Amino acid sequence: MSGTEFDKALYAYALSAKARGKKLRYVVDNSHTTCIISGLSEVDE
């Protein structure tokens, strides 16, 4: 994590979803050589 506001928001969202028992799907930006998560979405399973 780079510490940007976007990263902090994603981290908070991930913790919130985990606390509610939701599974997350990661949206990965593959145009970079390192794995960059550009978004998250909840999955009902």
Q: For residue 45, what pLDDT is reported?
A: 63
pLDDT: which is higher, 32 or 23: 23
The pTM (predicted TM-score) of the whole model is: 0.55
Q: For residue 2, what pLDDT is reported?
A: 61
Burial of 2 (0-12, 13-18, 19+ CB in 10 A): exposed
Which helix (H) or strand (E) covers residue 15, if one does? helix 5-19
Q: How confident is the model at residue 29 (pLDDT cuts 50, 70, 90)?
A: low
Residue 45's Cβ-side half-sphere holds a number of Cα atoms within 13 Å equal to: 9
CA distances to 17, 21, 28, 30, 31 from 13, in Å: 6, 12, 16, 22, 24
Q: How confident is the model at residue 26 (pLDDT cuts 50, 70, 90)?
A: confident
Q: For residue 43, what pLDDT is reported?
A: 78
